[in-house]
Structure 1
Amino acid sequence: MKRQAYQPILITDASRSQDDQLTSRQRRYVLMMSIRAACLIVGAVLASVQAPLLWLWLPLCGIGMVLIPWLAVLLANDRPPKEQHRLRNRTARREATPPRSLAADAEDRPHRVIDAEP
């Protein structure tokens, strides 16, 4: 059986945990829905005070109220790309050399003997 070279997993290459990903998606969703609620409130206030350029602001608030929930759902259900699709990991694995074992390093270096007796 052919033995494969051991490649340690660097902490910087480790993917985020599922709980961290879920928490960040939930925060993004709540933020986007808060922006939607703000668009609704701003639109209602502008309509009640008969603000100038009302013909411009109300459609912008309406578009925000329609597009933001759609984008929020898409982004909340999104996940990070799989490792095989990341170009950075493909090129890094090809260029990496397998780590040398400690036993091989010890054999290559000259041994220094310390004797307790003079």
Structure 2
Amino acid sequence: MKKQPDRAVLITDAARSPEEQFRWRQIRYVTMMSIRAACLIVGAVLLSIRPPLLGLWLILCAAGMVFLPWAAVLIANDRPPKTKAERAADALAREPKPPASLPQHSAETTEYLTIDLEPTETGERWTSADPRDREKR
């Protein structure tokens, strides 16, 4: 007998892929534009048969032909709202980054240059306070 998992894994909360979202928006756009084309055809048919309340029907068809393209474009360019993780990542990317700091040195490791105005035994006017430099000469 197969062991059943303790907990079922649900993927219904998973976000749609960008390709799937784009395809779904394309389908909605084409559907709305098809309804617009149908409004044009229905308007032409209504003009030929002259039903009662013709003006009202033509106004409805004209409104559909004017507002449906606008709504179709808005819906086609719409995307699902960003998740908290996406908003946090965007906020983090927009934060100004601190400038890179220079390396810090302790006072013990810092070497200082001592300037001596009196000439040394070798005739040099500039000497280093570091005794290792004197040994090199």
Q: TM-score, normalised by structure 2?
A: 0.53
- Write the distance in 1 (CA, Å) between the matches of 2:66 and 2:55: 17
Match of 2:26?
26
Higher relative contact order (CA 8 A, sep 6+): 1
Which consecutive residues of structure 2, in runs of 5 or more, have no partner in the other structure? 1-8, 86-137
- Write the distance in 2 (CA, Å) between the matches of 1:60 and 1:20: 33
**Bigger share in helix:** 1
Alignment of 1:34-53 (within 5 A): 34-53=34-53
Match of 2:78?
78
- Residue 63 of structure 1 pairs with residue 63 of structure 2: yes
Q: CA deviation at 1:50?
A: 1.4
Q: CA deviation at 1:11?
A: 2.6
Q: CA deviation at 1:48?
A: 1.4
- Write the distance in 1 (CA, Å) between the matches of 2:15 and 2:47: 48
- Write the distance in 1 (CA, Å) between the matches of 2:49 and 2:12: 53
- Write the distance in 1 (CA, Å) between the matches of 2:12 and 2:53: 51
> Percent identity at matched positions?
68
Q: After TM superposition, what 4+ stretches of structure 1 lie above 4 angstroms from structure 2?
A: none
Q: CA deviation at 1:10?
A: 5.8
Letter in 1 for 2:43: G
Aligned residues: 77
- Write the distance in 1 (CA, Å) between the matches of 2:35 and 2:79: 22
Match of 1:12?
12
Letter in 1 for 2:13: D
Q: CA deviation at 1:45?
A: 0.5
Letter in 1 for 2:62: G
- Note the alpha carbon deviations across 1:22-75, whole angstroms, 9 max, x for none: 110000000000000000000011011212110110000000000101000000
Larger Rg: 2
- Write the distance in 2 (CA, Å) between the matches of 1:35 and 1:18: 26
